[in-house]
Amino acid sequence: MITVLIADDQELIRIGLRTLVDGEDDLDCVGEAADGLAVVALAARTRPDIVLMDIRMPGIDGLEATRRITADLALAATRIIVLTTFERDEYIFDALRHGASGFLLKDSKPAELLRALRTVADGGALMSPSVTRTLVREFVTLRPHVRVPHPQLSTLTDRERETVVLAANGLSNDEIGDRLRISSATARTHISRAMLKLGARDRAQLVVFVYRSGLMD
Among the candidates 126, 149, 174, a domain finishes at 126
Share of the chain above pLDDT 70, in %: 85
pLDDT for residue 12: 93
Q: Confirm if 112 and 126 have CB atoms less than 8 A apart.
A: no
Mean pLDDT of 134-147: 59
Which CATH number covers residue 184? 1.10.10.10
The per-residue pLDDT for range 95-123, each reduced to its tens digit, is: 777 888 878 888 888 998 898 898 888 77
The per-residue pLDDT for range 28-43, each reduced to its tens digit, is: 999 999 999 999 999 9
First to last CA, the chain: 43
Please provide residue 8's backbone torsions phi and psi, each rounded to the nearest 5 degrees. -160, 140
Domains contained in the chain, number:
2
Q: Above 60 in pLDDT, residue 144?
A: no
pLDDT for residue 56: 86
Q: Give domain status of residue 135, yes or no.
A: no
Which of 201, 128, 197 has the alpha carbon at shortest distance from 167? 128
pLDDT for residue 142: 56
Q: Give domain status of residue 106, yes or no.
A: yes
Q: 122 and 146 share a domain? A: no
Q: Give domain status of residue 134, yes or no.
A: no
Q: 149 and 119 share a domain? A: no
pLDDT for residue 54: 92
Q: Above 70 in pLDDT, residue 140?
A: no
Could you tell me the residue range of the domain that residue 169 belongs to? 140-212
Determine the Cα–Cα distance for residues 211 and 42; give it in Å rounded to an integer.
32
Q: Tell me which amino acid residue 150 is.
A: H
Q: Give domain status of residue 132, yes or no.
A: no
Q: 102 and 151 share a domain? A: no
pTM over 0.75: no
Q: 10 and 88 share a domain? A: yes
Q: 71 and 174 share a domain? A: no
Q: 96 and 165 share a domain? A: no
